[in-house]
A and B are shown apart, each in its own frame.
Chain A
Amino acid sequence: MSDSSYWFQPPPRPSLIPMRPQTPISPPVEVSIDGEKVSVPAGSTILDACKKIGRDTPTICYHDTLEPVNVCRVCVVEVEGSRILVPSCSRKVEPEMVIQTASDRVRHSRKMVLEFLQSSVDLSTAPQILDQARRYQTNPARYGDPSPPAIQNERDHHHAGHHEIPSGEMAQTVAQPPKVDNNLYVRDYAKCLLCYKCVEACGTDAQNTFAIAVAGRGFDGRISTEYNKPLPDSACVYCGNCIAVCPTGALSFKSEFDMRQAGTWDESLQTQTDTICSYCGVGCTLTLHVQENKIVKVTSPFEQEITEGNLCIKGRFGYSHVQNIEE
C-alpha cells in the first residue's frame, strides 16, 4: 500500500460543482447563403449557418451528438469555387464563402440520394426520410421492382470484389430477415442505410464498446459483429445507444418490434413521461414511452447536458419490474 506508484490516488475533492469548461468565443465569419449574408462563429459548419437563417437542410447521417461522417450526402450544398458539391454537415465555414442550397445541382443530388435510398432500403419506419423524399419528388419505381429478399445471413457472406451479375430487371436491395438473437433489441438490417451512427455510438463517440463495425465493401457493406456472431456472443453491453441514434428503425426495442409485427404499435396512443433513472447516482433523464399503461420503450433526451441521450442497459431496458408482468 505504501508504494504510491502502484495505487490510484483519487484527486482532491473539488470545492465547486464540476462544470464544462467554457468554450472560447470565436471571431465571427461571414458567409453568403443563397444571397443572404449570415455571420456565424469561426469553426461552425455550413449546416450551422444554414440552421441559423432557417434554411432547411435535410440530414440523415448527421447527429448533434456524434462526429460528422458525411456519408449520406443528402445535406450537400454548392460552394462557389468547388468543382463538386460539399457536405454541409462537416465542412467548416470560411470567410467570403458563397453557398447555394437550392440550385438545380443541389436539388438533383438530394433527390437522387433519397431516391437511391428508397429504392434499396426499407424506409417504412423512417417517416422523416420519406417526408424529405416526397418534398424532393423522388420516383424510386423507375429502377424497377425491388428484388426478393436475401435469406438469413446470406448478405453476411458476400465477399468483397465479387458479385453475381444482375439481370437488371429488378432493383437490388438490402432486404433480408431481421436478426432476432436476444430479448432486448432487434437488428432489422433490411432497414439499414449505412449511416455509420450506430458504429460511432458503439465506439469512441459514446460507449467505447466496439461490438459492431462496418464490414464488407460497396453495396455488400453491412453492420456486423466479428464473424457475424450473434449479439449475446459479441462484445455488446446492451446499452442501446445505437438504437437511440438509428434514423430508420433498423435497430429497435424488441418490445417495439414485436408490437409492430402484431400490428399493435400505435404512436398516437403513446405518452412520453420524463423521469430520473434511479439505478445509480448519475441521474440520467429517462423518457418513458407508454402505450396502454405499459412501458414500450425508453429513450433519453439528447439535449440532456451530462449524458447526451446515452443510457446503460439498466436505464434503457431495466423496466420490466415496474410493470410486474409475469413472463
Chain B
Amino acid sequence: MDIKFTGPEPTSAERLAVDAVLGPPESAWAGGKRNMDLEGRISLLGGSKARSFRDRLLPAFHAVKERFGWIPPGAFHYICKRLTVPPAEAYGVATFYHLFSMEHRKPTEVHVCEDIACRIKGSGELFNALVNAHACSTEIGIRKSPCLGLCERAPAALILKSGEQPTGGAIGCATPGNVQDALTTNSFPDQQQNWLTHSVPQLGQPQLRLLARVGHTLPQSISGYQATGGFEGLTNAIAIGPLAIINEVIASGLMGRGGAAFPTGKKWEAVAHASGPTKYVVCNADESEPGTFKDRVLLEGDPLAVIEGMAIAGIASGATKGYIYIRGEYPLSVNRVQNAIDASLASGWLGSNIQGSGHTFHIEIRKGAGAYICGEETALFNSIEGKRGEPRNKPPYPVHVGLFGKPTLINNVETLANIPWILRLGGAEYAGIGTGNSKGQKLFCVSGHVANPGVFETPFGITLKQLIALAGGTPSGAPIKAILLGGAAGTFVGPDQMDVPLTFEGTRAIGASLGSGVVMVFDETTDLGDILVRIAAFFRDESCGQCVPCRVGAIRQEELMQRLRVGQPKGSAGQEVSLLGEIAQVMRDASICGLGHTASGAIQSALRIFGTRTMQKPVPEVKP
C-alpha cells in the first residue's frame, strides 16, 4: 500500500503518547529510525502484516485524546504511519466518534447528559449553570451529551480530564456544586464506593440472582466471587464439554437481553457449527440506549460474572479470544472489568489452560468513543476493527461472518451474566423460572418519576404496575401520564396499559417491545413534547448516515417535530402526522439496521396515544 503522509511530524510528547499504547516502532516503515543492519534496503514490515494493525486505531486515538484532549495532526499522522492506515480513512474514522475531536479542545471536559431521564430532572439548568461558571475558563469545557447511563441518579455528568495523568468519572445527582468539587479534588464518588447502593434499591434481598453480588462482593475479588458460587458454572462447563453446554443453554430458553430477544442457545449452536478454526466471542457492553443502565451496574458490581459467561461461551463455541466492547462513557466499568480480567488471569480462570482443562480463553477490552450506533452488532465489529461504526448489511449474519470476517458469538452483558447461573443450576431448572416464552429473571431499568429509581431484578411475569409499585410509585403520588418501554428506540404506553406483563410476549401483544428493559415513568406534569423533540434530535445525532432513509429521514423527522412543537405545521397538523407516518415507514422498511427501523417508534406511539396537542409547550395556568 502506497500511502502519502502529508502531515507534520509528531512532537516528542505526541510520539510518547502513541508509543505508550502501540509500543516503540519496529521499523522505519512504522515511523521509527531505519536500522541499516537489520532492514537494509528492504522493509521488514510491509504488505498485509503492516495492514493488520488497523484494529489498534481506536486505542491509539484514545491514548492521544486522553493525553491532549483532542487529536493533534502530528500525533494523527504518526498513528497512521505506525498502523499503515491511509490518513483520509483514519480521519473518517476519528470524525465518526463524538468523543474524538480533530480541533483543539480544552483539556478537561464536562459532559452533561441531555437525554430523557436527566432532562426531566433539570439537566438543562445544570448545563447552563456550568456554562456560566466556566465561561472564561481555558481549562474546562462544558458539552452536552447523549444518555450517560446514570438515569437512576439523574441529572448526570461525566468529567474527562486529559493530561499526563488522565482521570475521569461520572457524577450522579449532579449539581454545579458537586461537579465543581470533583473538578477541584479529582475524586469521583462512584470510584470510592464499591457498593452501588444508589443503583440497586433491592440490595440484599434474597431473590436476587444476577444482582446478588452487586454491593456485597468486591468486584475484582476472586475469593469473594467463589464464596458466592462464582466459577461453579465454568467448572461445570469444563466438565460437560461444548455440546452439553449448548444443550443446557438451549434448554434454559434464555433469550438475548440486548433488545432483539434472539434465542441465545440457537446463536451459540450456530457459531459452534460454523466452519473455520478462528472464532470470536464478543460481549456487547456499548450500552447507549437512553434509559438503560443495567449493564453498567453489572460491569461495575459483578464483572466476574460477565467474564465467566464469556469464558463459558468461548468453550462452547470453540473461540479462544473474546472482546468486550465497553462504551467510552463508562470509565469506571472499563477499570473494574480490567481489574477483574487481571485477577482471573492471575488465578487461572482465564488465559491458556484454564484450571488445567486445556481450554484457552483470553479477553481484551475495547473502548467505544461515543457512538450509539456501535451497539448494533455489526457496527460494533467495524469499530473493533478500527473502522467507522457503520452497520453491515445482513445477511451474512455474525454467526457466519462476524468480527474480522470470522464466525462470532456476540451477546449482551446481561445475557452473558445469566450464563454462569444457567450452568450452575441446569438449563431445565432455569427454564422453570418466568413465563411461557420469557425464561429466567430480568433486569429492569426503572427511572423517571419514581420514588426509588434503579435496576430491579424480578422473574419474568411481573406487570408494569407491580414494577412501578416496587420502585415506590411516583414520588409526589401524582398520576402517571405515560411510560416509555424499551428506551428511545422503544414505545410509549399510556397508564391504561399498567397491567401488561413485562415479558417478551406480553409487550408484543400490546404492540410494544421490552427492548433492553427500560421502564421510564412520566407523571402528569411532564412536558412530553420536549421529550419527543429530544428523541428526534437524538436519532438525528446518532444516525451513522450511511443509508439515505435513516440519514435524511431522521433530519426530516426532527424538523417536523420542531414544527409541531412551535405550533407551526405545514398545512394542517393532520397532514404533518401523515407525512411523519410516511417518513417512519421508509425508515422502518428500507434502512440498513435497527437504528433506522426503530427511530420513529417512540414518536409514532406517543402521537397515537396523546395526539399532536401533546407536542406544544404546556401553558402555565393563570390563577384569577
Contact = CB atoms under 8 A, between A and B. Distances in A.
Interface stretch (A229-237, A255-263, A290-298): A229-237
Given A162-B144, A168-B560, A108 B552 contact: no
A176 interface: no
A236 B33 CA distance: 27
A320 interface: no
Given A113-B549, A217-B544, A218-B543, 20 more contacts: A72-B547, A73-B547, A85-B590, A112-B586, A159-B98, A162-B541, A165-B537, A166-B559, A193-B548, A210-B86, A210-B88, A214-B545, A215-B91, A217-B95, A217-B543, A218-B541, A218-B542, A220-B545, A221-B551, A227-B7
Interface string A80-91: 000011010011
A162 B371 CA distance: 12
Interface stretch (A114-122, A180-188, A279-287): A114-122
B589 interface: yes
A71 interface: yes
Contacts of A152: none
B562 A167 contact: yes
Interface in B567-592: 568, 570, 579, 582-583, 585-586, 588-592
B586 A218 contact: no
A226 B90 contact: yes
Interface string A93-132: 0000000000001001100110011011000000000000
Contact of B556 (A116, A163, A233): A116
B447 to A, nearest CB: 22
Interface string A37-65: 00000000000000000000000000000
Nearest to B594: A84
Given A76-B590, A163-B541, A211-B88, A235 B548 contact: no
Interface in B42-66: 42
A226 B553 contact: no
13 contacts: A6-B42, A71-B546, A85-B590, A109-B586, A113-B590, A160-B97, A165-B537, A169-B563, A169-B568, A210-B88, A214-B92, A215-B96, A235-B88
Contacts of B97: 160
B336 interface: no
Contacts of A20: none
Interface string B96-113: 111001110000000000
Chain A's interface: helix, strand, loop or mixed, by majority? loop
A216 interface: yes
A90 B393 contact: yes
B553 A116 contact: yes
B325 to A, nearest CB: 18
Contacts, number: 214
B579 A70 contact: no
Nearest to A117: B548
Nearest to B5: A235
Contacts of A224: 88, 91-92, 95
A143 B86 contact: no
B357 interface: no
B141 interface: no
A142 interface: yes
Contacts of A203: 89
Given A116-B549, A219-B552, A168 B579 contact: no
B29 to A, nearest CB: 16
A277 interface: no
A73 B7 contact: no
Contacts of B168: none
B556 A216 contact: no
Contact of B548 (A116, A215, A226, A227): A116
B449 interface: no
A217 B585 contact: no
B548 A73 contact: yes
B555 interface: yes
A186 B144 CA distance: 37
Contacts of B553: 112, 116
B442 interface: no
B89 A210 contact: yes
Nearest to B546: A71
B73 interface: yes
A212 interface: yes
Contacts of B87: 225-226, 235
A216 B554 contact: no
B555 A219 contact: yes
A222 to B, nearest CB: 9
B623 interface: no
A210 B89 CA distance: 7
Contact of B559 (A105, A171, A226, A229): A171
B509 to A, nearest CB: 18
Given A73-B549, A160-B371, A218-B543, A172 B555 contact: yes
Contacts of A167: 562, 566
A229 B551 CA distance: 25
A12 interface: no
A216 B560 contact: no
Contacts of A117: 548, 552
B3 interface: yes
Nearest to A109: B590
Contact of B88 (A84, A193, A220, A225): A225
A87 to B, nearest CB: 7
Interface in B510-542: 533, 537, 540-542
A203 to B, nearest CB: 8
A210 B548 contact: no
A219 B98 contact: no
B185 interface: no
B165 interface: no
Contact of A208 (B2, B552, B591): B2
B91 A76 contact: no
Contacts of B541: 160-163, 217-218
Among B145, B544, B548, B589, chain A packs the most CB atoms within 10 A around the CB of: B548
A74 B388 CA distance: 23
Contacts of A194: 545-546, 551
A144 interface: yes
Contacts of A166: 555, 558-559, 562
